[in-house]
Structure 1
Amino acid sequence: MMPARTKILFRCDGSQQIGLGHVVRSCALAMMLGEKFECSFFIRDPSPALSRYIKEAGFALTSLPGTVIEEEAAAWAEHLEGDEILVLDGYAFNTRYQQLLKTKGNKIVCIDDIHAYKFVADIVINHAPGVDESMYSLSEGGKLFTGPQFALIRKSFLQQALNGKKKGTDDTIFVCLGGADPSNTTLSVIQNIYTRAQHLTRNITVNLVLGSAYKYEDTLALQETGMVQLNIFRNLSAELLIEVMQRCSIAICSASTICFEYAAVSTGTIFLCKTADNQAEFYTHMLQNKFAEDFFSGFYPEDGSFSRQDQHKFADLLDGKQRQRILDIFEELVR
């Protein structure tokens, strides 16, 4: 008889209000681990679309009621056996929450990008570039893994990185500001593209990808300039998203997982928008190292050339070997 696979329980939340970033990267991690571990999700009041996203990825989902966060941890701990690995991705899962879940000896992995409290977790992963590791406070024996070499992106993108990246057609632009974009930065980006394209003598194509929790689509019914063709895509599979990305030599995206996914499949130029406070370190490091440019201050198509930077340096960090590195971390936890 085959030995039972170790269970990994993922605790994360996502909504139109807070975005889908925690769920997207946790689901990507579960996809990396699913062949070796039994993965399932615990999410507070998931929307039908979010529930469908998790279940279509092949994972069981338990819906949690809204409650005081420490009460939630205490109640959850009572049902643990002690041999499960718990993955926490969210800013509410603070030191006390982790301590309550440690009462039966469970291993804990935290996915983090704000280092706002001490971690009693066994492992902390922050896949942003340029992390100042001295900002983290870990318990004795805790380990920290940082940088794009541990990027939590979907297997299809990692496989494409191994197969070879492509650079799309000049003057074809990819735009995606995440799964929810609660502040509707998407609208500002599209308006800026239209404004800055008014004096062009050539046509440009904008491939806009909207996430399942984006709620402002009616605001995008704008008067287009004759130089811009806007194509809107929604709820694309990973495979179709890769296809759209690889048509584009330019990406305008948030300083988040979507940036990693574009760099895994393309060597095109990246323009970033900071759409949430937790993206600050990622955004700053990308600009300081000339891996990307700021969209609102650096995107000027009228100069005749979009692709002014060589993005290979950042794209090379997304080498497709992230899954094996992550597997090594988790397999070491259960030895």
Structure 2
Amino acid sequence: MNIFIRTDASTDIGTGHVMRCLVLAEDLRNKNVKVTFICRELPGDLIEHIENKGFPVISLPSPGNSKPANEDGISNENWLKLNWKTDALQTIDAISKQPTIDWLIIDHYEIDKKWERIVRPHVKKIMVIDDLANRSHDCDVLLDQNLYRNLEKRYEELISESTTTLLGPKYLLLRQEFRDLKYVQIEKGSVKRILISFGGSDPTNETMKAIKAIKIINQRDISVDVVIGFSNRNYSAIKKSCKKYSNIKIHYQIDYLAKLMTEADLAIGAGGSTTWERCYVGLPAITIETAENQSEILSYLSEIGVVCHLGVSEKVNEEDIASNLIKLINYPNMLRDMVNAAAFIMRDFNDCLVVERLLGGEK
């Protein structure tokens, strides 16, 4: 079987799309499926990282932006929205040189039905990974691994009746390092270790806010792990800020986040795929919304008691984080309730379901 994945990463877009596609790609490779990525060259594009994982990448040319915005004020994030047809034609040109393509998997917020209809004649089937539910799709399978109030009806008007939907954390694309855990810590009590992790790029620099909050509460008996990805523009400043504190340790572009999560009693982070990784290991979290697509998920998880959600990043400061840290430190029963709520929503998770569907094993 031959599968292609069209996705992008950048300092603007973030790394989440590529990282979850890599999970799926590695699972498919384990089933002897050939997987190739198609990515546009952008600042922080992770193309080298994908290749280091052993997957070939067909690179689409850079929009010509070496900065977050070009001379016309068009960000790299929005370039594809304005040039979707160019992107589709370049993708067709890339795949037309390849053997028969059984599946084209698309994980990109700027790709919709228009793009998919142009490319569809060149592939057997299309799968879309989405979580916005804000545009129509022409696809055979749609995957949304997140949890919402209105989960079953979100895509009703956006896809055809023949499209198979894979919805909810049951279909989570969970990284192998989490699946390999021999022990998942689910009992949380006193807070002795805090994990700060805001994804690969953290464009709004929530990491620095969280570090300042740690300094405000000034509890040196609490160990703090700060995780930074190589797409983070603020690494040097964050490292300098932490240097004076012996209880704060920085981890740069790591492959052992699962281990840090099991060791932590509380996390400070954003939404995205990491939300479900925290739920999987039973790690309570204080969350901050750093992208619009996180809003509905985090507000619902806050409503059902899975996270302590503080709101949109521009409205959250270090004092807000500090006050909520103190509350959770002083009331460990709140942490235990969050652990139990997370365990409940992850009860049906099965790491085989998506691959089985692509390989024809699930209807």
TM-score (norm 1): 0.86
* From 241, 245, 249, the counterpart of 1:222: 241
Paired AA for residue 8 in structure 1: I
Letter of the 1:141 counterpart: S
Match of 2:24 in 1: 29
Q: Which residue of 1 aligns with 2:35?
A: 39
Identify which of 116, 133, 143 aligns with 1:98.
Answer: 116
Q: Is the 8 A contact 2:9 2:45 kept in 1?
A: no
Out of 305, 311, 330, which is 1:305 matched to? 330
Which segment drifts farther, 268-277 or 67-76? 67-76
Counterpart of 2:51 in structure 1 is 55
Counterparts of 2:327 and 2:180 in 1: how far apart (Å)?
Answer: 36
Say which SS state the counterpart of residue 352 (structure 2) adopts: helix
Give the match for residue 3 of structure 1.
none
CA distance in structure 2 between the aligned counterparts of 1:209 and 1:316, rounded to whole angstroms: 27
Q: Show the counterpart of 1:242.
A: 258
| Cα distance between partner residues in 2 of 1:282 and 1:243 | 25
Tell me the CA shift for residue 301 of structure 1.
Answer: 1.8
Identity %, equivalent residues: 21
Pick closer, same or farther for the CA change 1:59–1:320 going to 2, 3 Å.
farther
- Distance in 2 between residues matched to 1:58 and 1:211, nearest whole Å: 20
Q: Summarize deviations over 1:285-304 as a string: whole Å, max 9, x none.
A: 11011011125467232675
1:105 Cα deviation after fit: 5.0
Relative distance call for 1:223 and 1:64 in structure 2 (3 A) is: closer
Give the CA deviation at 1:277: 0.7
> Structure 1 residue 262: deviation in Å?
2.6
Match of 2:277 in 1: 261
Say if 2:148 and 2:300, in contact at 8 Å, map to a contact too. yes
Retained in 2: the 8 A contact 1:84–1:107? Answer: yes
Contact 1:77-1:103 at 8 Å conserved across structures: no
Cα deviation, residue 319, structure 1: 5.7
How many residues in Structure 1 have an aligned counterpart in Structure 2?
321
Q: After the TM superposition, which residues 159-174 of structure 1 pair with which residues of structure 2 at under 5 Å, given as runs?
A: 159-160=180-181, 163-167=182-186, 170-174=191-195
Counterpart Cα distance in 2 of 1:293 and 1:91: 27
1:284 to 275, 299, 302: 299
Task: Tell me whether 1:207 sits opposite 2:225 in the alignment.
Answer: yes
CA distance in 2, matches of 1:145, 1:13: 22
AA matched with 1:285: Y
SS at match of 1:165: coil
**Which amino acid letter does the alignment assign opposite residue 154 of structure 1?**
R
Is contact 1:130–1:282 with CA below 8 Å preserved after alignment? yes
Q: Aligned AA for 1:305?
A: N
Q: Look up the equivalent residue of 1:256 and give its one-letter code.
A: G
What amino acid maps onto 1:88 in structure 2? I
The higher relative CO (CA closer than 8 Å, separation ≥ 6) is in 1
Q: Please give the alpha-carbon distance, in whole angstroms, between the structure 1 residues aligned to 2:136 and 2:328.
A: 48
TM-score (norm 2): 0.80
- Structure 2: how far apart are the matches of 1:334 and 1:61? 28
Between the aligned partners of 1:213 and 1:219, the Cα distance in structure 2 is 14
- Matched residue, 1:175: 196
The amino acid of 1:330's aligned partner reads L
2:154 is the alignment partner of 1:135: yes
The alpha carbon displacement at 1:56 in A equals 2.5
Give the superposed CA RMSD.
Answer: 2.7
Range that drifts further, 279-288 or 80-89: 80-89
5+ residue gaps, structure 1, are 1-5
1:64-213 to 2 correspondences below 5 Å: 64-66=60-62, 68-78=83-93, 79=96, 83-130=101-148, 132=150, 133-136=152-155, 137-160=158-181, 163-167=182-186, 170-195=191-216, 197-198=217-218, 200=219, 203-213=221-231
Deviation of 1:131 after TM superposition, in Å, equals 5.5
Gaps of at least 5 residues in structure 2 are: 64-82, 311-319
- Deviation of the 1:225 alpha carbon: 8.7
Distance 2:244 2:328 in 1: 18
